[in-house]
Amino acid sequence: LLFFQRVPLLSIMIADEVPDYGDADQYINDPAVEQFWAIKAYMQANVHMNLIMSVTPSGLRLNTRQDDIYASFRKHFPTLNVEKVTEVELKGDTKSVWRELCEEFKDLEDYNMGTLLRQDSTKCYSQDNTIIVPKMIYLAIEIARNIEGVNDRSKEAYTTDHKQEEAREVS
């Protein structure tokens, strides 16, 4: 019985045809998947915030290929100010350059998964200070912030902001 269930797939593979899954507009996003992603993104942001508040960020390694990521980032964006990044800088005319950077590291796990990024390095993750970017862009910017000492200089400010944000959530 199992063999016969596989025959249609085998014949499709042999015929080198792509099955028709219908009109993509008819598909809807599964709310459970979106909720799972939101929880995972929030947890990752929380871990990152706790890390940079508890250690000296300039000594923090966010990825085993950190040096390569930083070198490639600065090759593509030599003058980008990582202290404050805007949506236009991330998703505007430079979109193709960001895509090129991301594709250089497509072997990294979840390199293109949506990840939360703080736009202003002096503030914590919050609704007003967060943008969704591919994980590779998050890594490039946060690695640069660490290596260039931005997170070290901003530590007092984002720690205070984080505590105030937590107090607002409790109220």
Per-residue pLDDT band at 11 (split at 50, 70, 90): very low
Q: Is 130 within the bounds of a domain?
A: yes
Per-residue pLDDT band at 10 (split at 50, 70, 90): very low
Number of folded domains that form the chain: 1
Residue 153 sits in which domain range? Answer: 32-170
Q: Is 20 within the bounds of a domain?
A: no
Q: Is 119 within the bounds of a domain?
A: yes
* Residue 118 dihedral angles phi and psi, to the nearest 5°: -75, 130
Distance CA 94, CA 87 (A): 11
- Cβ–Cβ < 8 Å for 91, 161: no
Q: What is the per-residue pLDDT across 89-134, written as a single tens digit (0 to 9) for each? A: 998 899 999 999 999 999 999 999 999 999 999 999 998 999 999 9
- List the Cα angle 57/115/141 in 5-degree steps: 40
Q: Is 18 within the bounds of a domain?
A: no
> Which tokens in the block code for residue 69?
């990521």
- List the Cα angle 31/32/33 in 5-degree steps: 90
Distance CA 76, CA 90 (A): 13
* Residue 130 dihedral angles phi and psi, to the nearest 5°: -125, 140
Least confident window among 16-30, 56-70, 136-150, 156-170:
16-30
Q: Is 154 within the bounds of a domain?
A: yes
- Quote the percentage of the chain above a pLDDT of 70: 85
Mean pLDDT of 31-60: 91
Comparison of pLDDT for 161 and 19, the residue scoring more: 161
Q: What is the pLDDT of residue 20?
A: 60
Mean pLDDT of 131-159: 97
Q: Is 6 within the bounds of a domain?
A: no
Q: What is the CATH number of the domain that holds 57?
A: 1.10.3560.10
- Quote the percentage of the chain above a pLDDT of 90: 70
Q: Is 79 within the bounds of a domain?
A: yes
Residue 16 has pLDDT above 60, yes or no: no
Which residue type, as a one-letter code, is found at position 153? R
Q: Is 42 within the bounds of a domain?
A: yes
Per-residue pLDDT band at 17 (split at 50, 70, 90): low
Q: What is the pLDDT of residue 35?
A: 83
Distance CA 29, CA 10 (A): 29
Average per-residue pLDDT for the chain = 87
